[in-house]
């Protein structure tokens, strides 16, 4: 492995920053003339099968990540295309980030006396938590306010120290960097550390071995994944295994599209999207991701928020349960098919980055807001009301105590509040939050 700035010639070893001190972006390279891909086939599947193109490490911290299944999508028939699913949900912690973590943690071990740190909106943090546990090291994870519940549960289960910071991961990144410096932690955030990219790029090697795709649709948040896949194929090009890089297609949501909108040369938004892993407003890997897509001759697709459920549903018909942030590739595929973007012999790979089991951000508000509670909210929307009156108007026969309990819970959730008192009667009304939730549920 070598890291040399191609502008000023400075070489880097041990801790490798994303950019040279002269400002130029750095890239890890290898002696490509020595790589013999035939050797790969003799080894077990997984990230470390490709060790000649990975950083040298003293000790590998692994949970047998990578080597995820690839299978033909049933959708192929319907669309008259050759579509394949690369199911990254089958990694140890349920996302492609385990490819990143195994290499970053293995490499960082000598520098992580006090532990590891990552800024993440979920998957990287859950993954780091697992690999740090495996390595007997502390994991510190800086996560934004809103994080998918399943990912949070993983972080907690693996004993990570959780630091909540900021609205989206954008704010968490510099904070993690600062904490790393102050506390002697090894920062594995992809925006601050190039090493993990090396692990992620093995996805490209697998796709090449198994499929030789012409097009790859990649859910794109921070841009690190699509860049990694690009780097993987560029190295295959370098060693003479391929003649060209497959067309890379970056998929984002219309709500938050800093990378896709640049590729498409349109004005993009940076709003909250329920595809949480794609809620990155100013991705630090943006330039790299845009360049990767452009150099591959690919494109970008924007997916509407309303299409996320459809994407998730169509994937479940394939037997794959994906998070929204991964399911985006399905509506993107349909859109490109509609535009006659593909040719008949194209081989299209959909990268399904993370499991749906991990991603129930809205679950709490949704599941709680069924039946009686929803009915109470509706009653209170019309006019303020008190306990007995509410009880009388509830359609389902139930005990007053049960209704009272619902009222108390709605109050503690901040969805209703005391409006005024008349005698002993407490009149309740909707809070702003309650009104918004009701509105969302009735859309
Ligand atoms: Zn330089």
CA–centroid distance, residue 4 to ligand 1 (Å): 8
The helix or strand, by DSSP H or E, that contains position 300, with its residue range, turns out to be strand 299-303
CA–centroid distance, residue 9 to ligand 1 (Å): 6
pLDDT, mean over the chain: 93
CA–centroid distance, residue 390 to ligand 1 (Å): 70
pLDDT at 29: 95
CA–centroid distance, residue 10 to ligand 1 (Å): 6
Give tens-digit pLDDT for 87-137: 999 999 999 999 999 999 999 999 999 999 999 989 999 999 999 999 999
pLDDT at 363: 46
CA–centroid distance, residue 346 to ligand 1 (Å): 40
Contact 416, 434 (CB under 8 A): yes
The set of residues, in sequence order, having a beta carbon less than 8 Å from that of 94 and lying 6+ positions away, is 123, 126, 150, 154, 354, 355, 357, 358
pLDDT at 149: 86
**97-108 vs 123-134: helix crossing angle, rounded to 10:** 40
Give the residue from 49, 52, 87 showing the smallest Cα distance to 69.
Answer: 87
CA–centroid distance, residue 18 to ligand 1 (Å): 11
CA–centroid distance, residue 117 to ligand 1 (Å): 26
CA–centroid distance, residue 5 to ligand 1 (Å): 5
pLDDT above 50 (res 365): no
Residue 67 confidence class, pLDDT cut points 50, 70, 90: very high
pLDDT above 70 (res 361): no
Beta bridge partners, 139, equal 116
**Per-position b or e across 281-309, b if 16+ CB within 10 A of its CB:** eebbbbebbbebbeebebbbbbbebebbe
In whole angstroms, give the CA distance from residue 15 to residue 402.
60
CB atoms within 10 A of CB 233: 26
pLDDT at 398: 86
Q: Domains (ranges, CATH) in the chain?
A: 1-30 (no CATH), 31-53+94-194 (3.40.50.1100), 70-92+196-358 (3.40.50.1100), 363-441 (1.10.10.10)
CB atoms within 10 A of CB 428: 24
Give the residue from 225, 280, 230 showing the smallest Cα distance to 255.
Answer: 280
CA–centroid distance, residue 6 to ligand 1 (Å): 7
CA–centroid distance, residue 193 to ligand 1 (Å): 16
CB atoms within 10 A of CB 334: 19
Residue 413 confidence class, pLDDT cut points 50, 70, 90: confident
Contact 166, 144 (CB under 8 A): yes
CA–centroid distance, residue 13 to ligand 1 (Å): 14
Q: Looking at per-residue confidence, does 360 or 294 come out higher? A: 294
pLDDT above 90 (res 192): no
The set of residues, in sequence order, having a beta carbon less than 8 Å from that of 222 and lying 6+ positions away, is 169, 190, 191, 280, 283, 284, 285
CA–centroid distance, residue 3 to ligand 1 (Å): 11
CA–centroid distance, residue 12 to ligand 1 (Å): 10
CA–centroid distance, residue 20 to ligand 1 (Å): 5
Report the C-alpha dihedral over residues 30, 34, 35, 38, rounded to 10 degrees: -170
């Amino acid at each position: 492995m070598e890291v040399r700035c191609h502008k000023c010639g400075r070489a880097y070893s041990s801790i490798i920053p994303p950019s040279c001190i002269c400002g130029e972006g750095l890239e890890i390279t290898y002696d490509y003339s020595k790589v013999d891909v035939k050797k790969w086939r003799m080894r077990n599947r997984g990230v470390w099968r490709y060790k000649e193109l990975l950083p040298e490490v003293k000790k590998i911290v692994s949970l047998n990540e990578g080597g995820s299944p690839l299978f033909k999508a049933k959708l192929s028939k319907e669309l008259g295309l050759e579509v394949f699913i690369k199911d990254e949900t089958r990694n140890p912690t349920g996302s492609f980030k385990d490819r990143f973590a195994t290499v970053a943690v293995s490499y960082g071990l000598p520098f992580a006396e006090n532990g590891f740190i990552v800024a993440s909106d979920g998957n990287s943090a859950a993954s780091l938590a697992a690999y740090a546990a495996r390595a007997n090291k502390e994991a510190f994870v800086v996560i934004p306010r809103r994080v998918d519940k399943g990912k949070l549960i993983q972080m907690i289960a693996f004993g990570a120290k959780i630091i909540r910071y900021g609205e989206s991961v954008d704010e968490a990144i510099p904070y993690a960097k600062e904490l790393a410096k102050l506390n002697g932690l090894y920062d594995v955030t992809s925006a601050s550390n190039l090493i993990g990219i090396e692990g992620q790029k093995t996805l490209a090697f697998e796709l090449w071995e198994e499929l030789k795709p012409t097009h790859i649709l990649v859910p794109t948040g921070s841009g690190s994944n699509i860049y990694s896949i690009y780097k993987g194929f560029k190295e295959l090009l370098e060693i003479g295994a391929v003649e060209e890089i497959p067309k890379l297609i970056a998929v984002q949501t219309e709500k938050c599209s800093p990378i896709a909108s640049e590729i498409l040369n349109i004005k993009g938004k940076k709003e909250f999207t329920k595809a949480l892993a794609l809620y990155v407003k100013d991705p630090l890997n943006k330039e790299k991701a845009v360049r990767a897509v452009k150099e591959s001759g690919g494109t970008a697709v924007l997916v509407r928020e309303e299409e996320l459920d459809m994407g998730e549903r169509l994937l479940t018909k394939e037997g794959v349960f994906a998070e929204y942030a991964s399911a985006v590739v399905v509506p993107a595929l349909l859109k490109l098919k509609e535009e006659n973007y593909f040719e008949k012999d194209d081989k299209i790979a959909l990268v399904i980055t993370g499991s749906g089991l991990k991603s129930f951000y809205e679950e709490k508000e949704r599941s709680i807001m069924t039946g009686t509670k929803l009915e109470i909210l509706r009653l209170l929307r019309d006019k303020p009301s008190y306990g007995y009156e509410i009880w009388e108007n509830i359609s389902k026969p139930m005990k007053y105590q049960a209704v009272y309990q619902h009222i108390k819970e709605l109050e503690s959730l901040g969805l209703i509040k005391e409006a005024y008192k008349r005698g002993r009667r407490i009149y309740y009304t909707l809070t702003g939050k309650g009104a918004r939730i009701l509105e969302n549920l009735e859309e």
